[in-house]
Amino acid sequence: MMKSLRGGDAARGCVAALILALAAIPSAGPGRTAEPIKIGFGMALTGGLAANGKSALLAMKIWEEDTNANGGLLERPVRLIYYDDQSNPAAVPGLFTKLLEVDKVDLVVGDYGTNLLAPAMPVIISHNMAFIGLFGLAVNSEFNYPKYFSTFPTGPDPKTGFSKGFFSVAMAQNPKPKTIAIAAADAEFAHNAADGARLNAKAAGLQIVYDRTYPPSTVDYTPIVRAIQATNPDILYVGSYPLDSVGMVRAIKEVGLNVKLCCGGMVGLQYTAFKTQLGSLLNGIVNYDVWLPAPTMMFPGIADFLKKYQERAVAEGVDPLGYYLPPFAYAQLQILGEAVQATQSLDQDKLADYIRDHTMKTVVGDLKFGKGGEWTEPRVLQIQFQEVKGNGVEQFKNPGTQVILSPKAYVSGKIIYPYGDANK
């Protein structure tokens, strides 16, 4: 039978027990049991935008790992909490409501793309959260929410800024084009792109001879391209999402569309999977992009990030090059992390004020936000595919296959004009 403790023995026993109990509690230092800072978002992991959404997610995981390896934020680890939005706008409001009200995330960032960001805005606004979107076009033009910030480099007037470079390239040619056709999907992004194209066409003195939308469910684009051909435009501007873009490029080649410049606003031609699928069909197309491995765009940190990304991309089954969305997904979280560290706070007003008032240093360059949370200076690239041969991926590491035509500070080569000459 155990001997009872009395007097000093009992007191010493209690102290010893307390010491043992305290020793059993792990330290609350970074990376151990400190409560993590939870960052919530939705991402297209299935559906039409999944190819890009998955590559963005890998970039965000790399940021999470890098940040925790450097001590986290506010001496706490960070944890990403995310759900598949299925590329479906209808899924987004419920997704963010769950993140904010059930998961109780501390911070939020946006899904990928205009069509998925716009339906998130009412939920974000009602919860008074700072919100950094991933590549939304003019998402805040109707909400005017002061805590929204865009990673899309369209500048202070996003609708016109998105296609302004395309029209600048067009009007610099000799002879100058006189007429334009505009084709766009019947969806949020494409509507905004087409709105901007009309304004830029008017400013350039171009006559619009065709201006129509098509259902996002369209499968055969040949009748659309034939209708465009019948109007004999000098320029074709297309606002489309990935699967539309592939269908449209194939139809343009099949019909033999005779225009001097095409196509400006096609999402998807930036993805390595679609570049290799379309191969030489891309030659001559002038389209927007946001980052390419040209000497003019090697910002501090970008090479290190891409090295980490590309080492893991094939195993993760995502875009092997990662030039389009991944650097901006990483930068999106860099911006948020810098604001948290600088303010030593998770207060949403303080975070938004800091982001608005400071130049943010990221792997895609120094960014400054202005009106509507857009970049103060536009930096949408206009590139032309040239000398693409076959379907190999390695050729797209060569800046010569994707020549930057605009803006002036980033130009890496000369245009082949008219469009048909690039295919000879």
Query: Are 165 and 193 found together in one domain?
Result: yes
Query: Are 123 and 167 found together in one domain?
Result: no
29-81 pLDDT tens trace: 443 469 999 999 999 999 988 988 999 999 999 999 999 999 999 999 999 99
Residue 394's nearest CA partner among 248, 241, 298, 276 is: 276
Query: Are 45 and 105 found together in one domain?
Result: yes
Whether 323 is in a domain gets the answer yes
Whether 19 is in a domain gets the answer no
Query: Are 65 and 187 found together in one domain?
Result: no
Whether 378 is in a domain gets the answer no
Query: Residue 90 is part of a domain; what is its CATH number?
Result: 3.40.50.2300
150-209 pLDDT tens trace: 999 999 999 999 999 999 999 999 999 999 999 999 999 999 999 999 999 999 999 999
Query: Are 252 and 399 found together in one domain?
Result: yes
Whether 58 is in a domain gets the answer yes
What does the pLDDT read at residue 33?
A: 62
Contact assessment for residue 311 and residue 345, using Cβ atoms and an 8 Å cutoff: no
Q: Which of 331, 349, 373 is the last residue of a domain?
A: 373
9 versus 72: which is more confidently predicted? 72
| The two three-digit tokens of residue 200, written as one number | 């830029």
Query: Are 43 and 83 found together in one domain?
Result: yes
Query: Are 162 and 143 found together in one domain?
Result: no
- The distance in angstroms from the start CA to the end CA of the chain is 99
**Amino acid identity at 398:** N
- In the numeric block, the tokens 């949020």 are attached to 188
Whether 85 is in a domain gets the answer yes
pLDDT at 26 over 70: no
Query: Are 277 and 322 found together in one domain?
Result: no
Residues linked to residue 261 through DSSP beta bridges, in sequence order: 235
Query: Are 66 and 163 found together in one domain?
Result: no
What's the rounded mean pLDDT across residues 226-232?
Answer: 98
Instruction: Classify 131 in phi/psi space as left (phi over 0), alpha (psi -120 to 50) or beta.
Output: beta
Domain count across the chain:
2
Whether 21 is in a domain gets the answer no
What's the rounded mean pLDDT across residues 212-218?
Answer: 95
Whether 216 is in a domain gets the answer yes
Residues linked to residue 40 through DSSP beta bridges, in sequence order: 81, 108
Q: Which of helix, strand or coil describes residue 267? A: coil
Query: Are 283 and 176 found together in one domain?
Result: yes
Query: Are 42 and 132 found together in one domain?
Result: yes
What's the rounded mean pLDDT across residues 313-317?
Answer: 95
pLDDT grade, residue 423 (50/70/90)? confident
For 57, the domain range is 37-153+298-373
Classify residue 54 as exposed, middle or buried by CB count within 10 Å of its CB (0-12, 13-18, 19+): buried
Q: Which of helix, strand or coil describes residue 42? A: strand
Whether 338 is in a domain gets the answer yes
Contact assessment for residue 419 and residue 261, using Cβ atoms and an 8 Å cutoff: yes
Query: Are 176 and 46 found together in one domain?
Result: no
pTM score: 0.87
